[in-house]
Amino acid sequence: MNSDLLPERIHNAYLFQAFNAVSWQICLGSPLILFARELGASALILGLLAGLAPLTSTLQLLTAPHADRIGYRQLMVSGWSARVVTLIFLMLLPLAARSWPHETVLWLLILVILAFTTLRGIAACTWMPWITALVPRPLRGFYLSRDRMFIGIASVAALAISGAFLFDHGSMVAFSVVFGLSFVSGATSLYFLNRVPDPERPLQSETPLARLRWRDLLRDKTFVRLLIFSATVQLCVLSTTTFVTVFVREEVALQDGTILWITAGGALIGSFGLRLLRSHIDGLGSRPFLGVVLLWWTLAGLLWFALAAGLLPGSWLIAPLLMMAAGFFGSIYELSLTRLLMNTVGDRPGVTQYFALQSVITSLLAGLAPILWGWMLDHLARIQLVVGGLSLNNYALFFAIQWLLLAVVFVTRTQVQEGSATATLTLLHRALLLAPASLAQRTQPRSRA
């Protein structure tokens, strides 16, 4: 594989993603959730905070048809610059919480995150079409694996530093310092964003006369099947991660800093997973890797249920291992899905609208789902169900429902199409049998003649 075919100055895209990851990993990730919980936020409010980013992504529908006319760089830089400014206010909120009522600060926090995610939603539609136009089709898996590796390493750094400041639940000053790091990283990312090369030519000329109608995109069966699958995953799996964080904090009794370090470990392991995929995914296809991830989610769901139901001892060890493994398989899922989407719609007319529609529909579900999951978790707290002598609390019921919904994910995944992809069983055979055998053969000492 000749990586020299990638455009010059593409390293600026990697560095933008890295510093941008440090910023959003803090201001939209675990530190935000932990800060809100410290202010006394309910599960419903936590779900709202987790859902604002995907909900406001609907604004892409307004800007996507005009992205080529405005210009990828101009739209992206303008939106990202404005959203970085809002992080100044986020940085000041923990200091205000030392003297203001926590309820007031919590509402201000919601307003700041709403402003941040709104600005993000306006500009986000341009990034994937920009990269799709830059990176040749045979190298997209290679590029994405390296891109996600930069994001993973940056996330590790962000979470490790945050964990150091917030160890043992931290303080309001510590939260302010951590959010300050988010602001500095966001500002640095703008420097590299301005240096990402422009494509030699746009994929399509999306003038008003050539613009596709949104309903025309929904007649593309291959795209719709992939859209349904990704939306179902967001609804049934990815939208529940906020409450895993709350579960390990309150039921497993892990400290805030420890949770962030574990999450950092998961991001680091995910980076190793991306390194393993770099030389394989373009040849084997995305679909078999999506199947492997789905098998993992099935096993992980059972283990989380067993922990919540008190069926497994050593939750202090098993829960961190599950969280780190989630980082590994989450990275594989995100890389496989993104590559498959790029290859599915990257050469179609109206590519910006395809990416925007996929992002908006899945994000809407992802935005509403945490709110619904949070509402359900709050109400399940009033229920103590006994089944066969086993007492199930709200978290056990929560994980049980999530596991049952994986059946829907299985069905939608069977409909996803990819022309030359390897079967999942073939991939597992190679990974679990052929690869270890080949490695053992290479490591055997040679007999002397």
For residues 361 and 55, is the Cβ–Cβ distance under 8 A?
Answer: no
Higher pLDDT, 202 or 217: 217
* Sequence-separated (6 or more) residues with CB below 8 Å from residue 79: 119, 120, 122, 123, 124
Cα torsion 49, 54, 58, 63 to 10°: value is: 110
pLDDT at 445: 60
Structure tokens at 250: 């309150």
Structure tokens at 99: 């003297």
For residues 377 and 249, is the Cβ–Cβ distance under 8 A?
Answer: no
pLDDT in tens, 103-151: 999 999 999 999 999 998 888 888 888 888 888 888 888 888 888 888 8
pLDDT at 267: 77
Which secondary-structure segment (H or E) carries 73? helix 72-96
* 244-265 mean pLDDT: 82
pLDDT at 191: 94
pLDDT at 207 over 50: no
pLDDT at 242: 79
Residue 205 pLDDT level (bands cut at 50, 70, 90): very low
Tell me which amino acid residue 391 is.
Answer: S
pLDDT at 435 over 70: no
Closest CA to 192 of 112, 136, 137, 127: 127
For the ranges 36-40, 154-158, 225-229, 253-257, the lowest mean pLDDT is seen at 253-257
The mean of the pLDDT values for the chain is: 83
Percent of the chain with pLDDT over 70: 90
Sign of CA dihedral 412, 142, 268, 154: negative
Cα distance between residue 238 and residue 232, in whole Å:
9
For residues 23 and 189, is the Cβ–Cβ distance under 8 A?
Answer: yes
pLDDT at 226: 92
pLDDT in tens, 40-97: 888 888 888 887 887 888 888 888 877 777 788 888 999 899 999 999 999 999 999 9
Cα distance between residue 339 and residue 139, in whole Å:
10
pLDDT at 438: 57
Cα distance between residue 175 and residue 254, in whole Å:
18
Indicate yes or no: pTM above 0.85: no
Sign of CA dihedral 406, 364, 346, 148: negative
pLDDT at 208: 44
Structure tokens at 178: 């951590």
pLDDT at 337 over 80: yes
Which secondary-structure segment (H or E) carries 75? helix 72-96
Cα distance between residue 59 and residue 139, in whole Å:
30
Percent of the chain with pLDDT over 90: 27
pLDDT at 105: 94
Higher pLDDT, 362 or 330: 330
pLDDT at 439: 52
Residue 384 pLDDT level (bands cut at 50, 70, 90): confident
Q: How distant is the alpha carbon of residue 109 from its chain centre?
A: 22
Structural domains in the chain?
13-197+221-418 (1.20.1250.20)
pLDDT at 200: 62
Q: Indicate the angle between helix axes 127-134 and 315-345, nearest 10 degrees.
A: 60
pLDDT in tens, 412-423: 998 988 877 777
